[in-house]
A = this chain, B = another copy of it.
């Protein structure tokens, strides 16, 4: 089964308590692609870059089964650039620079060769563009998943509310779930958000794990307790890539299989944070991934007889 991913491909400059980088490649669709391509191929990418985006990165993605027919390269323009600073607790970050560059004119087009895709992952992006991609698809995918962020709740809420009606699954973090729903309790927030369109909701809680809601069902997966979180940039997108990659690989969109997807996504995210940017994602093997998933099983498994 193939997977379309939509989102940014960009340069990031990152500073954490452990070090700082110059411009390195990043962007929501880049992380999703690196994570998902471990499980499903092709990954059909839709994005936009300037002519400064490294050719070697494009080649590396292709080598991993990522199709780039939907990635527009704009001559003479620069790629989207983001710069941020993380504090010690890594849950807080300050944005230092946001240069939209080519992203300001992004008008995503779904190539004909992508039309048969059964899974669609809408990475964090202007809600209007996310909706535009959905509307270009001649056949509705089996599952449409979407990520978004507080910025769009503040600047484009009507568009966001509209796109929510067309998707199956939303992923947000806990603060965003509270902001979107107006409820502090995550259980109440989940009910409210699911009444706005998506029948499935994943609430990401960073180092505190992730919750999956569907009707009255709820599943929780922890984050792996790590000795050091080196750089959290892209962890949420990597989680999304692992999750949707697992679903697309298996073609199974049951709640039970989404649980497995959450574990796979959490395992992928736990690699992502170990080095700057997508560095670690390019190093890991299937064996590393299997071993990490085994660690998740050990972390939460218990046998109990009722009292």
Contact = CB atoms under 8 A, between A and B. Distances in A.
A58 interface: no
Interface SS of chain A:
mixed
Contacts of A211: 225
Interface in A257-299: 259-260, 262-264, 286, 289-290, 293-294, 297, 299
| Chain A interface residue bracket vs B | 35 or more
A228 B222 CA distance: 21
A260 to B, nearest CB: 5
A205 interface: yes
A260 B304 contact: yes
A307 interface: yes
B222 A222 contact: yes
B220 A225 contact: yes
Contacts of A229: 185
Interface string A214-225: 000011111001
A211 to B, nearest CB: 6
Nearest to A289: B307
A96 interface: no
A267 to B, nearest CB: 9
B89 A299 contact: no
Contact of A188 (B221, B227, B300): B227
A290 B304 CA distance: 10
Interface of A: 38-39, 88-89, 184-188, 205, 208-209, 211, 218-222, 225-229, 246, 256, 259-260, 262-264, 286, 289-290, 293-294, 297, 299-300, 302-304, 306-307
Given A89-B184, A300-B300, 7 more contacts: A38-B307, A219-B299, A259-B302, A260-B304, A290-B307, A293-B306, A293-B307
